[in-house]
Each structure stands twice: as C-alpha cells, then as structure tokens.
Amino acid sequence: MSAESKSAFASRKGWSHKRNQLFTMIVWAVGICTILFICGLLFLILQKGLPKLSLDFLYGLPSEIDPGGGIGPTLFNSFYVLIISLLISIPLGMSAGIYLAEFAPDNTFIGFVRICVEGLASVPSIIFGLFGIAIFVEVFQVGLTILGGAVSLAFLNLPVLTRVTEEAIRAVPSEMKNASFALGGTHLQTIRRVLIPVALNGIITGICLVAGRAFGESAVIILTAGVSTSGEMWDFSLFSPGATLAVHLWYVQSEAIVPDAAEIADKAAAVLVFVVLLINVLFRLPLLLHVRRTR
C-alpha cells in the first residue's frame, strides 16, 4: 500500500470516528433531555398533589357543592374496571398473539388480519367508546355501567396485546424452539415452557402499557360507564355507574362548581400518576422473580 493510500485510508477512518463520536453525543444529549423532561413533568405533577393527600381524600365521597370532597368511589372504580378489563383482554390477547405467531398460515388472509389488528391498535379510544354505546346501551340496553366500561376497555387493549405477544413470540430464537422439539417436547409444551418464558419480558411490557392506558382512560369510560358513581365506597355491582379517577379529574376541571376544584384536580392527578407508576412496578415483579429463579 502506497503512502497516499495509507493517508487517504487514515483520513477516512478519522472522519468516520469523528462522525461516530458526534452521533453518540447527539444521542446522549437527546436522551438526557428527554429523561429530564419526563422527570420534571412527573415531579411537577406529584409535587403539587402528593403533599396535600390525606386518607380522608382517598376514602372520602366526592362532593358536588361543598369543599373537601374525596375520590374514594372513583378510585375504587378505577381499579375495579382495570382488573375486569385485564381479566378479559390478557387471555384473549395472548391467545390471539400466540396463534398468529405459531399456528396461523402465512397467506393473504392472515396478512390482512394483521393489518386490521395494527389498525385497531392505533384507532382513537373514543371510537371504542362509541362501539361500547352501540353494544351495551342501544343493543343490550343496560345503560352506563361498570360492565360496559370494562368490556370496552378490554376491546381497546386487545389489539395492542395481540401485536405485542405476537412480536415477542417471534423474537424468540428459532434454535430454542427447535431444541425443545428435538428433546421430544410437543408444540404446547414448547409454547408453555420455552416460548412464553423467554418472551415474558416483552409480554409484560405490553401488559404494563395497556394497564396504564386503561387506568388513565377517560373517553371510553365517559361514553360507556358515565361520569358519576353509585355514591358507595365498595360497590361491586357490575351494573352501577362506573366513573373512574380519570373521569373525575376531567369532571372537576371542566364541570364542577366546588370552590376547591383546582386543589382536588392537583391531588387527583398526583394519585393517578402515582398509581400508574405503581402498576408498572407491580407488573415487573413476576419478571424479576422469574429471572432470579432461572439463575
């Protein structure tokens, strides 16, 4: 290699190294700014509401006129609707995702189904609320109830869980699947003992996303469960009005006439953000336990 060739090669290598450093610095800067923005936003919301929280506020009944109302029934409805919706959407979404990843034939119809699922995952939530009205209010005529809100939220979560499960299963290396078959495992045993445990991280991430979205959802609940509660703290009836904490926050900010509406909104927003963060932590615990057991 001549001296000129060596010089040109060194020049290109130096320029590539500089571009790599520049790109790394840009990524670091954007990432740090994004994290700081998110942390600042969370701090702003929690700082306004958390210091003012009390047990009376968490367990108290909402007030329409007098100051000092609580969020007890709406907070209970939020968890109640969330649990019911997850009990419906998780088994159905995981089953559909496993079918598309492992059993569905690779043809035009299944490709069309995948496009439809992806499209439904990006549909605005108010469309699912209108669908819930058509089903539960007009067809079955059960009115605005917890049942209607929970099932509508399950419909909202199904496309996301289906796609997340399918992609997580497909991401498992084929060598692990073939090794299971080589050891005499059936297809069901391979799915239960190899594919799902390996894909558990992605699946739980999807569950966290849909759980947080469902807990903070308001449009679907307003249209299918209403903006009021039964007035009881522990009302397990599926046919009671099902206003959740997110709906109560919207109502306080837009319609309420109580003099301390701004303070109630700050505290309710802090509780909402804190619970969403807590949900993500709780759903991650099974994954951490699974990793420790495998070690």
Residue 185: which CATH number? 1.10.3720.10
211: nearest Cα among 120, 275, 130: 275
Domains contained in the chain, number: 2
Q: Do both 22 and 149 map to the same domain?
A: no
Same domain? For 267 and 248 the reply is yes
Query: In whole numbers, what is the pLDDT of the chain averaged over residues?
Result: 86
**One-letter amino acid of 79:** F
Compute φ and ψ for 242, nearest 5 degrees: -125, 45
Are 24 and 84 found together in one domain? no
> Does residue 155 sit in the same domain as residue 77?
yes
Closest by alpha carbon to 166, among 98, 213, 232, 217? 98
pLDDT of the residue at 14: 63
Extract the tokens encoding 239: 């046919």
| 47 and 133 part of one domain | no
146 and 8 inside one domain: no
Are both 106 and 221 inside the same structural domain? yes
Residues 109 and 186 in one domain: yes
Pair 12, 110 in one domain: no
Residues 32 and 167 in one domain: no
Residues 273 and 201 in one domain: yes
Per-residue tokens: 193: 């003992």
Low-confidence spans in the chain with pLDDT less than 70: 1-15, 286-287, 289-295
- Determine the angle formed by the axes of helices 245-254 and 72-98, rounding to 10 degrees: 130
pTM: 0.86
Give residue 67's region: left, alpha or beta (phi > 0; psi -120 to 50). Answer: beta
pLDDT digits (tens, 9 = 90+) for 240-279: 888 899 998 888 888 777 888 888 888 889 999 999 888 8
Domain boundary among 52, 67, 90: 52
CA distance 95 to 92: 5
Same structural domain for residues 127 and 27?
no
Q: Which domain holds residue 97?
A: 55-294
Q: What angle do CA 272, 275, 277 make, to 5 degrees?
A: 110
CA distance to 10, 15, 62, 74, 207, per residue, from 149 (Å): 65, 58, 20, 13, 18
Residue showing tokens 């919301």: 45
Between the alpha carbon of residue 193 and those of residues 13, 71, 171, 182, 196, the distances in Å are 48, 43, 16, 14, 7
Token couple for 220: 């679907």
